[in-house]
Structure 1
Amino acid sequence: MKKASVKDRNTIITILHAAFLTETFPNSINFVAKQDKRRSKRIYYLMEYQCKMAFKFGQIFLSDGQKGCVLFLNPEKKRTTLRTILWDIKLAICCIGIKNIYKVLKREKILKKNHPSVPFLHLWIMGVMPDYKGKNIGTKLLKEVLKYYKNVHSIYLETTTESNKHFYEKLGFKVFNETHALEYPLYFLMKS
């Protein structure tokens, strides 16, 4: 595992884009990215946005061999600036689509309502290249990152699938809430 730097930006975006492009079932990525003939480009913009935000307000880790990555946000560091407003506008235009902004804002409201009241790090997104899924790259990476963050009081995440929920539970995360208010389930987990 290594802590990523801005030099790793294209690798990170490539991993995340490839990891989520093939997932066509209802989930957070497909909810946010407008589903049309430009889906691949829209998902690319979303991953580019998440990468920028994580470099600005968190940390990114790459697996050995650079086939997997995990992005963290530190909500205590997150600030609205002119730059982040421009990133949000580009995300709305290039990924979400103007007609979908309301439903995405509704989703964000649900997420924020379920954020822990204690200080936490947000495990924002994790991905592994499709050809390497099932080879313990994600498990090894996340175990190493959790060891890196062993002195952090709480790590929070949300996920949309039962299999991901079980993956995180095996690593010590506990479900503290769930909702079916959107087009897919959302499970909220935390590790203290």
Structure 2
Amino acid sequence: MRKATYLDKKLVSEILVSAFLPLKEENSINLIVKQDRKRTERMQVLMEYLFERALLFGEVYISDNDKACILLKFPHQERITPRTLLLDIQMAFKCIGIERIFGVIKRQQLAHKNYPKDEHIRPVILGVKKESDGKGTAARLMIEVRNKFKNNQLPVIIDTASEAHAKMYQKFGFKIVKKEENLGFPVYFLRLN
């Protein structure tokens, strides 16, 4: 595993688009990304946005084989800057679309309600290239990241709309603390530490 730099933006966004583009069911990604003929481009915008925010206020790790990545945020370090405002505006216009804003705001309120106010680590997104899915790449990356942060005292909070992913995170020691169903699909909130 290696820590990403800004030069890895294209690779990370390719991994994440490859992982999430095939998903057609209702989930947080498809709630955010406008579903039209530009879906792939819009998803690219989302993944680049998440990457940049993670680099600003967290860390990004890439598997040794460049097939998986995980983006971590340290919410207690986040702040509003001209750069973050520009990223948010670009995200709204190039990815979400005006008609989806209220759904995204509802999703943000749900996250705000279920994430702690005190310091914590938030894995924002974990993805593995489609051709490597099911081959243990994501699991190995999760183990390496867990080992890197094993002496960490901060809670690690993650959410997922996938029951299968919730079960995978439980194998790594996460416990489901809440299941919300206000968005038309379930969102599991899990905690470690």
Q: TM-score scaled by structure 1?
A: 0.98
What is the aligned-residue identity percentage?
A: 38
The residue type equivalent to 1:169 in the other structure is: Q
Q: Which runs of at least 4 in structure 1 moved beyond 6 Å after TM superposition?
A: none
Does 1:70 pair with 2:70? Answer: yes
Q: Provide, for residues 22-69 of structure 1, a one-character-per-residue CA deviation record: whole Å limited to 9, x for no partner.
A: 111111100110111111111110001001000110000000110000
- Is residue 37 from structure 1 mapped to residue 42 from structure 2 by the alignment? no
Whole-angstrom distance in 2 between the partners of 1:137 and 1:79 = 33
Q: Is 1:79 the counterpart of 2:66 in the alignment?
A: no
CA offset at residue 151 of structure 1? 2.0
Letter aligned with residue 3 of structure 1: K
Kept after mapping to 1: 8 A contact 2:62/2:69: yes
Residue ranges of structure 2 left out of the alignment (5+ in a row): none
In the comparison of the two structures, how many residue pairs are matched? 192
Q: Structure 1 stretches of 5 or more lacking a match? A: none
Q: State the secondary structure of the residue aligned to 2:111.
A: helix
Q: Which residue of structure 1 aligns with residue 141 of structure 2?
A: 141
> What is the aligned partner in structure 1 of residue 123 from structure 2?
123
> Offset at 1:117?
3.9
Partner of 1:190: 191
User: 2:170 maps to what in 1?
Assistant: 169
Cα distance in structure 1, aligned partners of 2:119 and 2:74: 9
- Tell me the CA shift for residue 118 of structure 1: 3.6
Instruction: Say what the alpha-carbon RMSD is for the aligned residues.
Output: 0.8
Cα deviation for residue 119 of structure 1 reads: 1.9
Query: Counterpart amino acid of 1:123?
Result: P
